[in-house]
A and B are shown apart, each in its own frame.
Chain A
Amino acid sequence: MPGSKDARVKGIQLTGRHAWSDEQTNAARAYAREPNSQKLEELRTAQRRAAEEFGQLQARLGFAYATDGGFRLKDDFTPYVEKVAGVGGGQGQINRQPGTRNAYYFTPIVSSKLQSDAVILDEYLYPAAIPAPLKKKLILASPLSFVLAAEGTGYSNQVELLYDFSDVQSRAIRAHASEYQYVQLNESFSTDERFARGVTKDLLSAFRDCLDKTFADLPVRSAVYFSSGNAKDILPVVLGTKVTDIGFDFNTRHQEIDATIDKNVILGLQNVTRKLPENLLAEEPRRLADNARSVLASLRITDRSEIFLGQSQGSDGLQTYPQAVRRDENLSAAFRLIRGEIS
């Protein structure tokens, strides 16, 4: 019988990039082998088609907020590495994405003061792929993740870099604010042991300022999603901001959350870093629903908070396409179980 927290579970949503279909992958590989305008056009066509198919899938599964799959992003930092003057490194050194096995990002190399106009995201977004009446969600890297991942000698002060990056990102978000109802920033570095040592009080304080500035007067729902590691140290900072939603990875790492959460919550429950035995779906809907209830019971969440279910690690892109689609379907079924729509 659904309890009070069950009734507050409002829906499901993607929290990161989606896995690529084989058609899209083959087009990307063909372009990488032979980079010419024809191959690029074929890649763009495959990406558009993949985004549209993913939009239809989200509609069919009843996603509360839908994304374009993030298929144009090579990693979390692609638009900044490719479009922001002062940042480079898109073809250079790679680093392992926190909490993953064989997923990497191109390290952003900051060589001089950041400069950009507001259109840096245009090339990477495809909101038209999301069918009406689905609400549209935009997912980007958090400014703090960018600063912790970045290397280079362009700034001697990380706080200054954080403010400048956040300013660039904020202008880019505002340029697209009318197209989206929800903006999520993924924070996967400050929660990872490898990068957490670089987080200072000044940096956290600046991060709080940046979040408030980015979302002040912006008519969208907003979220910070902790997509790997343990969020206990940074959680109080985000709880003190105007951000409306907060998300946690509850699967790949143990979370030590000791705070009352007065924001809407996304529970990252599906372990996307681990493929499942075909004959033993550990994340079959009933088990997912039980996990959701168990996590909810362990959290102190205020009564007015809405709850959503999603993937751990913030990215379906760590799986093969069929596995990702199967998990999307399981997530949808788990939600309907919790809501009592199916039994």
Chain B
Amino acid sequence: MTEQLLSTRDVGSGPRDPAILGLLRPVPLTPEQVERASSFLKRVESLPTTAYGAVVAGAGPSLVEEYSRLARQSPAERKEASIDLVVKIGVVTLHNLGFRRAWNLEWTRSEMVEWECDDVGGFRKSPHWQHSYGSRFWKPKEISEEISYSGSSERHVSELRRVQKFATDQIRVPITDPHCMIHNNDNLYYYGKRLQKGEDETTSCLKGDHEAGLDFARRVTSNRVRRISETARPGEKIDIQFDNFTVTSEPREFDLPTLKKLGLNVPTYISEMKETTHSPPANIEFSQHNCLQKYEFYIGYIASELPNVTRFHYELSTHDSENLGLTAETRTGQGWDAIRLLKEHGLGRNQKVIIDVAPTYEGAKPPDPKLVRDRILYPIMTLGFEPNQIEVAPACGQRNLSLESMLAIDVNIHKGRDLALLQLQKRYGIDAEPHLTRSYLRSVRT
């Protein structure tokens, strides 16, 4: 399949509005929720994309009709059909917005760490809360014995099968990577094992996490990749996206003298990613999404150590200025610093950068399409990346948004993407495919 120039994708979870997710809960929907969901679904079905046309147009009942029918049923009656409809709404929403990867807005998941432990042995849930921020708390799990994989629930596989029913785009399956799984649970077993050998605390932490991460990669993640590959339909290629929000939370893991002392050639994170991606099945490709991090800690390993990971998403927009422009003075913040460093190190032959062009924090406003345009063009026209090395996405926190805000932000992302395409057409003389209506493009040309 030929990749669309400046292809767009979503990388995270969608708004957790009870108007949609209420379909999955054992309580009736309120009239206000039904009205809000209906309004949202009407907008989804009338989005101004022309690249494919709305996926549901002329294909059976509309989303609004399906939603209204299920909303009238009791939670027990609608249970199974509701899961399908929620998945379909997610898939159609992303498609109609113009995104070229299909998924379900992660509406079938509660979060990204505990959810992934379901078929993993060795984890025991803490009975006590821990504060994360604001009014958010979590119960960290404890790794209390050696990590194993039962494969009993196969949540990723059942999710994939549902998305396959509705997707017309390439499917992207998000998986929390081994490093994130170890660092966001209390690694008592492996840490304790090291301490018992008489190693100091620092060495015990680092070696314990390394050992646990590799066990998770070999025994759990590799099996997930295999099962997803086996579930792909003939001719289908699945994009497995590895997620991590704490890659560089332990800087010592990336410190060269420390690595040498531990006898490691590369940081633990890179070892785990290599272990997971070294020989992908033919119908699998890998991408990576890491929330805003000190990307510079590992950017130098990407081309040489992770040749089979083809796309890397960088969070940039939250810390970027809102000034228009294609200079280092206008494209600011640690995310852009990392992209500039990445240009120095270089990408591998088939590797691409996914640029985050729009913040998604609670209360974020839709970005000016011209600002989106400049965030896309800066790496191409100023830093010298090839146009086909750049793809486009929002930041990962769309779950923080209202349904309407998500639509507004994502529509503006695609308007900005089309403005960037217009510039590239002029500069490179290429015939690029717009997402949006020709009337929108005519209006911005004038």
CB neighbours of B137 from chain A (8 A): 20, 25, 28-29
Which residue of B130, B134, B249 contacts A319 across the interface (Cβ within 8 Å)?
Answer: B130
* A96 CA / B205 CA spacing, docked (Å): 21
Task: Answer whether residue A258 sits at the interface, using C-beta atoms and an 8 A cutoff.
Answer: no
Per-residue CB contact flags for chain A residues 293-316 toward chain B (1 = under 8 Å, else 0) read 000000000000000000000000
- The answer on a CB contact under 8 Å between A275 and B131 is no
- Closest Cβ neighbor of B133 among chain A residues: A104
Least CB distance, A161 to chain B, in whole angstroms: 17
Q: A92-B361, A94-B133, A277-B195 given as contacts; is B201 within 8 A of A282 (CB)? A: yes
CA distance A71 to B195 in the complex (A): 33
**Per a CB cutoff under 8 Å, which of B205, B294, B363 touches A193?**
B294
Q: What residue in chain B is nearest A88 (Cβ atoms)?
A: B363
User: A22 near B129 (CB under 8 angstroms)?
Assistant: yes
Contact between B188 and A277 (Cβ–Cβ < 8 Å)? Answer: yes
B359, A93: Cβ atoms closer than 8 Å = yes
Task: Report which of B135, B192, B251, B364 forms a contact with A277, defined as CB distance below 8 A.
Answer: B192
In the complex, chain B residues whose CB is within 8 Å of the CB of A275: 140, 142, 186, 188
CB distance from B299 to the nearest CB of A (A): 14
Q: How far is the CA of A26 from the CA of B134 in the complex (A)?
A: 13
Can you list the 8 inter-chain pairs with the closest CB atoms, starting with the nearest?
A: A32-B135, A277-B192, A104-B133, A320-B128, A93-B361, A275-B186, A25-B129, A277-B188
Query: When the two chains form their complex, are residues A94 and B135 in contact, meaning their CB atoms are under 8 A apart?
Result: no
A322 in contact (CB, < 8 A): yes
| A102 in contact with B129 given A92-B362, A277-B192 (CB within 8 Å) | no
Once the chains are docked, how many angstroms separate the CA of A274 from the CA of B183?
10
Interface centre among A93, A151, A193 (most CB of B within 10 A): A93
Q: Measuring CB to CB, which residues of chain B are less than 8 angstroms from any residue of chain A?
A: 126, 128-138, 140, 142, 183-184, 186, 188-189, 191-192, 195-196, 201, 204-205, 246, 249, 251-252, 292, 294, 318-319, 334, 359, 361-364
Known A-B contacts A29-B135, A74-B133, A275-B140; the reply to A102 vs B184 at CB < 8 A is yes
CA distance A253 to B258 in the complex (A): 12
Instruction: Provide the main secondary structure of the chain A interface.
Output: loop
Q: Which of A74, A93, A194 contacts B334 (CB 8 A)?
A: A194
CB distance from B398 to the nearest CB of A (A): 14
In chain A, residues 152-203, which have Cβ atoms closer than 8 Å to a Cβ of chain B? Answer: 193-194
The distance in angstroms between the C-alpha atoms of A265 and B132, with both chains bound, is 29
Within 8 A of B (CB), among A77-124: 91-96, 99-106
Cα-based distance from A194 to B251 in the complex (angstroms): 10
Bound state CA distance, A13 and B188, in angstroms? 27
Name B142's closest neighbour in chain A (CB-CB): A275
Residues of chain B with a CB closer than 8 A to A330's CB = none
Q: Which residue of A lies closest to B186 (CB)?
A: A275
Contacting residues, chain B, for A280 (C-beta < 8 A): 192, 195-196
Note all chain B residues with C-beta closer than 8 A to A256: none
26 A-B residue pairs with Cβ-Cβ distance under 8 Å, sorted by A, are: A19-B131, A20-B131, A22-B129, A25-B137, A28-B135, A28-B137, A32-B135, A74-B133, A74-B134, A74-B135, A91-B363, A92-B361, A92-B362, A93-B364, A94-B133, A96-B249, A102-B132, A102-B138, A102-B246, A104-B133, A193-B294, A253-B251, A271-B201, A275-B142, A276-B188, A277-B195
In whole angstroms, what is the CA distance A306 to B292 when docked?
41
Q: Decide yes or no whether A318 CB sits under 8 A from chain B.
A: yes
Q: Which residues of A contact B361 (CB under 8 A)?
A: 92-94
Q: Chain B contacts of A96 at CB under 8 A?
A: 246, 249, 292
Q: Is the CB of A317 within 8 A of B195?
A: no
Determine whether A36 belongs to the interface, using a CB cutoff of 8 Å to chain B. Answer: no
Inter-chain contact B196/A104, CB cutoff 8 Å: no
Contact between B130 and A19, CB atoms less than 8 A apart? yes
Residues in B with CB closer than 8 Å to A93 are 318, 359, 361-362, 364
Across-interface contacts of A251 in B (CB, < 8 A): 201
Query: Which residues on the B side are within 8 Å of A319 (C-beta)?
Result: 130
A15 to B373: give the CA distance in the assembly, Å.
Answer: 46
Nearest residue in A to B183 (C-beta to C-beta)?
A101
Q: Could you say which residues of chain A place their CB within 8 Å of the CB of B362?
A: 91-93
The distance from the CB of A153 to the nearest CB of chain B, in whole angstroms, is 9
- Cβ distance A69 to chain B, nearest Cβ, rounded Å: 12
Whether A217 sits at the interface, judged by CB under 8 Å, is no
Find out whether the CB atom of A151 lies under 8 angstroms from the CB atom of B131: no
The reply to whether the CB of A278 lies closer than 8 angstroms to some CB of chain B is yes
A320–B196 touching, CB < 8 Å: no
A279 within 8 A of B: yes
Partner of B319 from A32, A75, A151 at Cβ < 8 Å:
A151
Given contacts A20-B131, A93-B361, A96-B246, 20 further A-B contacts (CB under 8 A): A22-B128, A25-B129, A31-B135, A32-B135, A74-B133, A75-B134, A101-B183, A101-B184, A102-B130, A103-B131, A106-B134, A151-B319, A194-B334, A253-B251, A275-B188, A277-B188, A277-B192, A317-B131, A320-B140, A322-B128
| CB-based contact B126/A320 at 8 Å | yes
CB pair A279–B363 under 8 Å, yes or no, is no
Q: Which residues of B contact A278 (CB under 8 A)?
A: 188
Given contact pairs A74-B134, A277-B195, A101 touches B189 in the complex (Cβ within 8 A): no
CA distance A99 to B248 in the complex (A): 9
Contact present for B129 and A193 (CB under 8 Å): no
Within the complex, the shortest CB–CB distance from B250 to chain A, in Å, comes to 8
- Cβ-closest chain A residue relative to B135: A32
Cβ contact within 8 Å between A194 and B132? no
Distance (whole angstroms) from the CB of A258 to the closest CB of chain B:
18
Instruction: State how many angstroms separate the Cβ of A332 from the closest Cβ of chain B.
Output: 20
Residues of A within 8 A of B204 (CB): 282
Q: How far is the CA of A282 from the CA of B140 in the complex (A)?
A: 20
